[in-house]
Chains A and B, each alone.
Chain A
Amino acid sequence: MTETRISRRFAKTAAENRPALVTFVTAGDPDLETSLAIVSALPKAGADVIELGMPFSDPMADGPAIQAAGKRALDAGQTLAKTLDLVRRFRATDAATPIVLMGYYNPIFIYGVDRFLTDATAAGVDGLIVVDLPPEADDELCLPARAAGINFVRLATPTTDDKRLPSVLANASGFVYYVSINGITGSAAPDAGLVAAAVDRIKRHTDLPVAVGFGVRTAEQAREIGRNADGVVVGSALVGAIAGSLADGRATEATVPAVARLVEDLARGVRAARARAAE
């Protein structure tokens, strides 16, 4: 496997005997410049991998918090081209932190798959998570992305049984994103015991790191989930922190610090996940 920013980062956190903290925010939320400031503050606050949401008018897999974040970004004029530009500007200041774009297929399809992959590569995008492209649709984007050197991060869910898992993992790269619950983002807290069993099951089928997300909100949850997962994804709680910092829908001086504080707290959680083992 060729080394990528993503593989190097998971190798680093594994060497530190801790899970990676994967943080999700929506590109352009609440506006482009504040969003860039938030993304730029994430690595210093302790984020290991950045997932950047590409806003879409119809986010079928998202709960109210990320729906609202996408709407704020779109209302502020965010487009896929601006999202790629945001990545480019971030990459000029940070050459090491992996960026994974997450969203839905239609904006990429309309941008044009080839053009998108060219521009994403140039901007410094490392991976893609596209919710509505299951393995059955791999020829749409997954295979072209891999050919272009961009990882295609696959979602595995509680409904992905052993029979289906090999096809889900077949063209996966970067890491595997285990969706901890049947549901939408930001809903019920996952059962740590069930998640641990599911992570073990997936790891029997792949050497890729397994990150767990959906419903992880607190440092305590991150610590618990992170005991055997290679990464913990937090999204709705972060965009919730953005929402809570706004005045009349606009960014305030409190916006960037609100996100940074929560990420610092979560970073302490993932660093404590295997504290006993490290002693």
Chain B
Amino acid sequence: MTTSFNSLRNGPDERGFFGNFGGRFVAETLMPLILELEDAWEKAKADPTFAEELKSLSVDYAGRPSPLYFAERLTEHCRALSGGKGGAEIWFKREELNHTGSHKINNCLGQILLARRMGKTRIIAETGAGQHGVAAATVSARFGLPCMVYMGATDVERQKPNVFRMRLLGAEVTAVTSGAGTLKDAMNEALRDWVTNVEDTYYLIGTAAGPHPYPVMVRDFQSVIGIETKDQFRAVKGRLPDAVLACVGGGSNAIGMFHPFLDDPEVAIYGVEAGGHGIDVPNGHAASMNGGRPGVLHGNRTYLLQDADGQILEGHSISAGLDYPGVGPEHSWLRDSGRVTYVPATDREALDAFQVCTKLEGIIPALESSHAIAEALKLAPTMDKDKAIVVCLSGRGDKDVFSVAGYLGETI
């Protein structure tokens, strides 16, 4: 990592804080485990064989680098929307072409290698949409480790194809019925498992949140997205893009895309949160940075959806992967510092973007990624033709076709 005095890329500090956000707010039982993990991660980073092993798997197993693709017809669509006056070029960073169909594999490969180095013999993970669960189950199968995936009962119901994929991969899927049965409840249950099985178990967190060192570790594993984007865009255009966009739930694909660009002030950065039914609808969205306030949950201080008593709200999104009441702490810090602009996209806007992208580009995006595309459709027409924006297409939408059919009133 390049560091300098004025860099925005130096965080976190040694206690895991990005400004006021982050930290290690965990039960004492887990504290020694988290310190052990931090130690193992520092050693792995300093060991060239770790990087080589990860690189080799990323290329041969996951299919990296993922392509950077000029979305020509979507660009034309936006130029038409601008009345021919403008319309920036729209490019996709195609993380949906990775093995398992999303960016989640980048993080899972890194963490499973770390778990092996630590001598852990059992993997646990939480999942919302099932994308991380599938990636965790995949790497566990690849390395022959038993894997337990915690998934909210509501999500098990709305993401059946992914549940079956995980089971095919040999993972055990536990449906969590506490709370509203979504991602935060799954994370609570995974933490309860970890605290009970401290000796042999590795908790493979799927997003850039949780206690330090998870946010920085997951960010570093996902930064391959932004690093490749920079190189690929430069190779085509000889410069950097004018804006990069990504959807933000916990925010792992976003921080992976954003982090390499933080010190490039000519690049505008947009994170797109789940606006659900609308930011003004109480508990009707999952936009923690646009409609929440700072609090402490799941080991870190960050923006959270919560009531006046500090009880965490469930939130809502059409997309199970964005349906989380918190966000990674580095995003909270980037929000307050003003470097990244976080905006909401509603369920309706995401659904429209999903259909436009599918029809015009022949690419079915995940509902999560459709939020980022929705913002691109708003932003591109306001920019000049010689500008370019890159959208992180974090996942493919095959998993969403059943729920989209439901929203469109069709039976399949």
Contact = CB atoms under 8 A, between A and B. Distances in A.
Contacts of B299: 132
Interface string B18-33: 0000011111111111
Interface stretch (A177-185, A196-204, A270-278): A177-185
A57 B25 contact: no
Tell which of B24, B28, B198 has the most Cβ of chain A within 10 Å. B28
Interface stretch (A104-112, A226-234, A244-252): A104-112
Given A67-B178, A155-B28, A182-B195, A60 B188 contact: yes
A33 interface: no
Interface in A89-106: 104-106
Given A134-B28, A159-B33, A179-B29, A111 B310 contact: yes
B312 interface: yes
A163 to B, nearest CB: 9
Interface string B24-61: 11111111110000000000000000000000000000
A200 B176 CA distance: 38
B24 A137 contact: yes
A110 B306 CA distance: 9
B192 interface: yes
B67 interface: no
B25 A182 contact: no
A134 B196 contact: no
Contact residues of B: prevailing secondary structure: mixed
Contacts of A182: 29, 195-198
Contacts of B295: 106, 109-110
Nearest to A62: B192
A136 B15 contact: yes
A104 B195 CA distance: 16
Interface string B270-313: 00000000000000000000000001111101001010111110
A154 B28 CA distance: 9
A131 interface: yes
A183 B304 CA distance: 26
Given A58-B297, A60-B191, A109-B295, A132 B25 contact: yes
A60 B186 CA distance: 10
Contacts of B196: 182-184, 187
A160 B28 contact: yes
A143 interface: no
B29 A137 contact: no
A48 B14 CA distance: 42
A39 interface: no
Tell which of A56, A104, A110, A155 has the most Cβ of chain B within 10 Å. A110
A164 interface: yes
B147 to A, nearest CB: 20
A171 interface: no
B25 A105 contact: yes
A79 interface: yes
Contacts of B296: 104-106, 109, 132
Nearest to A185: B192
Interface in A137-166: 137, 154-161, 164
Given A184-B195, A187-B196, A58 B188 contact: yes
Nearest to A83: B309
B19 to A, nearest CB: 15
A155 B310 contact: no
A59 B309 CA distance: 15
Tell which of B26, B301, B304, B306 has the most Cβ of chain A within 10 Å. B26
A74 interface: yes
A179 B309 CA distance: 28
A183 B195 contact: yes
B179 interface: yes
A161 to B, nearest CB: 7
A81 B308 CA distance: 11
Tell which of A63, A109, A179, A187 has the most Cβ of chain B within 10 Å. A109
B371 interface: no
Contacts of B192: 60-61, 63, 184
A80 interface: yes
A32 interface: no
Contacts of B32: 159-161, 164
A153 B32 CA distance: 19
Contacts of B25: 105, 132-134, 137
A136 B35 CA distance: 11
A58 B31 contact: no
Given A109-B296, A109-B310, A182-B198, A58 B184 contact: yes
Contact of A60 (B27, B31, B309): B27
A262 interface: no
A157 B29 contact: yes
Interface string A103-138: 011111111000000000000000000011110110
Nearest to A158: B29
Contacts of B28: 134, 154-157, 159-160, 168, 179
Contacts of A59: 188
Contacts of A80: 309-310
Nearest to A61: B27
A67 B188 CA distance: 11
Interface string B177-189: 0110000100010
Of all A-B residue pairs in the complex, the 4 with the closest CB atoms, nearest first, are A110-B310, A107-B310, A183-B196, A57-B311
Interface of B: 15, 23-33, 178-179, 184, 188, 191-192, 195-198, 295-299, 301, 304, 306, 308-312
21 contacts: A57-B311, A58-B179, A59-B188, A61-B27, A61-B29, A80-B309, A81-B309, A104-B296, A106-B296, A106-B304, A107-B310, A110-B310, A132-B25, A137-B25, A158-B29, A159-B31, A160-B28, A168-B28, A182-B29, A182-B197, A184-B192
Interface of A: 56-61, 63, 67, 74, 79-81, 104-111, 131-134, 136-137, 154-161, 164, 168, 179, 182-184, 187
Given A58-B188, A60-B191, A110-B306, 18 more contacts: A56-B311, A57-B311, A57-B312, A105-B25, A106-B295, A106-B310, A107-B309, A109-B295, A132-B25, A134-B24, A134-B25, A136-B24, A155-B27, A159-B29, A160-B32, A168-B28, A184-B195, A187-B196
